Amino acid sequence: MGLHCVNCGSPVIALYIQYSPGNIRLTKCVKCKAVADEYIECEMMILLIDLILHKTKAYRHLFFNMPHLNKYELQGLVWKAASLFLLLDACRQLVLDPSKMHSELSRSPASLMVAIGKLMCSIVLSNVVFFSTLLLATMSFRNKQETSETRHTEICMAVLFSSYFKIFMTVMMVWEFPSSAVFIIDVFVLSSNAVAVNVVTNATTFESVGVSFIGHFAKFLIDYMNCNNELLRMHL
C-alpha cells in the first residue's frame, strides 16, 4: 500500500518535504488541495482519539501512511497482530465462560492443556470462517478486479488492526464487568471493521457495514455451534 491523502484517499508521491533535520513542510494533495496528512505533526493521543471516533482520516493514516513513515516490516507486524487477535478472542471466551477453565484446572494440568488446545482450535476455526466469509462478501459487493489477492491481504490486515478495541478483554479478566460489556466491545469492533473495509476498498457505507456484519454473523454461528457441541458432550 502506497502513500495516500487522508482526506480524499488519493495516492500521493510524498507527505512532506524536508529542508533540514527537524525542518519539514507538509505537502498538499493534488486532487483535494488539502494537506495530505496532518497527523504527521500530531501527537499519538490525537490519532488514538480519532480512531475511537471512527474518523476515516485516522484510519487512512494508520493503514496507508504510518507503515511507510515508521518503516515497519509489515509481514512480521501482521503475524504479531494475528497472534494478538487470536489471544484476545481466547480472552473473550474465558470472560464469557470462566467456569470452564476452572473446572479443568481442578482436575489435572494435562486436562487443562487439552482444554486450551480445544479452545484455540475452535477460535482458529471461527476466525478462518470469519475472514473467508468477509472476503467472499467483499467480492460479492465489489468488482472482482478490485478484490485481487493483494487487496485481500490489505483487507485482512485492515480488519486485524481495526480490531484494537478487543484489548479491553484483558481488562475484563482482571476486573469484574457484566457480560453485556463483551457485546458492547463486539459492536464497537464490528463498526471499526466496517470503517476499515470502507477505507481500504472505497466501498459505500452500506457495503462496508454489510460485509462486516456478514463476517461477524458467520463467526457468531460457528461459536454458537461449538458451544452447543460442548454442552452436548458434557451431558453425554
Q: Which range is least confidently modeled, 81-85, 113-117, 149-153, 205-209?
A: 149-153
Same domain assignment for residues 52 and 22 = yes
Cell of residue 111, nine digits: 486436562
- Judgement on whether residues 89 and 205 belong to the same structural domain of the protein: yes
Q: Is the pLDDT of residue 109 over 90?
A: no
User: Cβ distance 104 to 115 under 8 Å?
Assistant: yes
Both 25 and 116 in one domain: the answer is no
What integer pLDDT is reported at residue 195 of this predicted model? 95
60 with 87, same domain: the answer is no
Residues 169 and 117 reside in one and the same domain: yes
Kindly state whether residues 81 and 148 are assigned to the same domain. Answer: yes
Of 54, 70, 86, the last residue of a domain is: 70
Q: Across residues 151-172, what is the average pLDDT?
A: 88
Does 7 reside within a domain?
A: no
Range of the domain at 99: 74-235
Q: 211 in a domain, yes or no? A: yes
**Whether residue 151 sits in one domain with residue 57:** no
DSSP classification of residue 19: E
In a domain, 156, yes or no: yes
Does the structure show a pLDDT above 50 at 145?
A: no
Are residues 93 and 20 located together in one domain of the fold? no
Reading the block at residue 87, the C-alpha cell is: 489471544
- Is 57 in the same domain as 128? no
* pLDDT score, position 197: 92
Q: What gap in Å lies between CA 44 and CA 190, rounded to an integer?
A: 23
Domain count of the fold of the chain? 2
Residue 103 shares a structural domain with residue 207: yes
SS3 assignment, position 97:
coil
195 and 137 share one domain: yes
Euclidean distance between CA atoms 68 and 193, whole angstroms: 22
Q: Is residue 56's pLDDT more than 50?
A: yes
pLDDT of residue 204: 87
